[in-house]
């Protein structure tokens, strides 16, 4: 069975490739994972993707996250990227052309996938995050208003939903998927061990991580289970498996 350590090790190996030089030496090239987010509101994402784990992961060049403003690809002077729906009906629809141009401007990596955020798409889960973490690049298209022109379907690989409810835009979905995938990229989390027992990460999708405690030992009468203070690693492991 491929455990989480070897899963990370294998991915780390896949993420590095070696280029021969004229003198017969090999240069190791780190192929960091790239996340491109196509949106009309890049500012919504800026603070989230530039804090905490995602910030550190970008600084250490494990991943790169880039937002792309669809309005830059509008052909009119007011930078409009939406219009009323053919056939009538409420609201506005994002136009296909600026999205097409924006997609064309993004440099594609070898193993790349284009995802349209869509409440009716395939519901995102940890297994999908693991599958995406094997890629070199994820490109997200964030809808807004009533959604996007249906002809965008020809430009994408998958439609993904982050849950059975309707949000006002795809930006939160893109952030959710980016973070869930980035955590699985080798080196992004401090310790690969953190991933080993994580909820939904076992062979069975319904595995839930054991309860965690930190100081104080006694909080208003609620005590930390004695076994966790025992120093007996075998027994602690057994307790964690059953809780
Ligand atoms: N009229 C659409 C419908 O009824 O399905 C809803 C459009 S929604 C207001 C605008 C955009 O938000 C969508 O195009 C999609 O990109 C994004 N969105 C909303 N809910 C989402 C969800 N649960 N998962 C992923 N994206 C979502």
CA 86/CA 194 separation, integer angstroms: 50
Provide the residue range defining the domain that includes 150.
Answer: 32-182
What φ, ψ does residue 158 adopt, rounded to 5°?
-150, 150
Are 173 and 236 contained in the same domain?
no
Residues 107 and 219 in one domain: no
Question: Is this model's pTM higher than 0.85 or not?
Answer: yes
- Specify if 1 maps to a domain: no
Give 86-142 pLDDT, tens digit per residue: 999 999 999 999 999 999 999 999 999 999 999 999 999 999 999 999 999 999 999
Rounded percentage of the chain residues whose pLDDT exceeds 70 = 86
193-206 confidence digits (pLDDT tens): 678 778 988 766 67
Write down the pLDDT at residue 142.
99
**Is the domain of 173 the same as that of 219?**
no
Which DSSP helix (H) or strand (E) runs through 160?
Answer: strand 158-161
Ligand 1 pocket mutation pick from 39, 91, 92, 119 by most atoms within 8 angstroms of CB: 119
CA of 129 to the centre of ligand 1 (A): 20
State how many domains the chain has: 2
**How many whole angstroms separate alpha carbon 180 and alpha carbon 132?**
10
Distance separating alpha carbons of residues 52 and 56, to the nearest angstrom = 6
Distance from Cα 91 to the centre of ligand 1, integer Å = 13
Distance 28 CA to ligand 1 centre (A): 41
Q: What is the pLDDT of residue 155?
A: 98
Atom of ligand 1 nearest to the CA of 164: 23
pLDDT digits (tens, 9 = 90+) for 69-99: 999 999 999 999 999 999 999 999 999 999 9
Give domain status of residue 162, yes or no.
Answer: yes
pLDDT at 151: 98
């Amino acid at each position: 069975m491929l455990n989480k350590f070897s899963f990370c090790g294998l991915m780390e190996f896949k993420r590095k490739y070696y280029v021969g030089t004229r003198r017969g030496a090999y240069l190791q090239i780190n192929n960091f994972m790239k996340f491109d987010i196509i949106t009309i509101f890049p500012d919504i994402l800026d603070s989230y993707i530039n804090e905490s784990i995602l910030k550190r992961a970008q600084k250490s060049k494990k991943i790169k996250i880039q937002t792309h403003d669809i309005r830059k690809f509008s052909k009119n002077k007011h930078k409009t990227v939406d219009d009323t729906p053919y056939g009538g009906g409420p609201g506005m629809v994002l136009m296909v052309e600026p999205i097409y141009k924006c997609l064309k401007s993004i440099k594609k990596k070898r193993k790349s996938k284009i995802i349209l955020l869509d409440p009716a798409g395939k519901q995102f889960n940890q297994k999908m995050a693991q599958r995406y973490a094997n890629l070199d690049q994820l490109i997200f298209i964030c809808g807004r208003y009533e959604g996007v022109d249906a002809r965008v379907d020809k430009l994408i690989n998958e439609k993904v939903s982050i849950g059975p409810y309707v949000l006002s835009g795809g930006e939160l979905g893109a952030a959710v998927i980016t973070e869930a995938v980035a955590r699985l990229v080798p080196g992004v989390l401090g310790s690969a061990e953190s991933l080993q027992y994580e909820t939904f990460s076992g062979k069975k999708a319904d595995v839930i991580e054991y309860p965690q405690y930190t100081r104080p030992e006694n909080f208003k009468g609620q005590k930390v289970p004695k076994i966790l203070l025992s120093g007996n690693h075998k027994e602690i492991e057994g307790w964690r498996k059953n809780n």
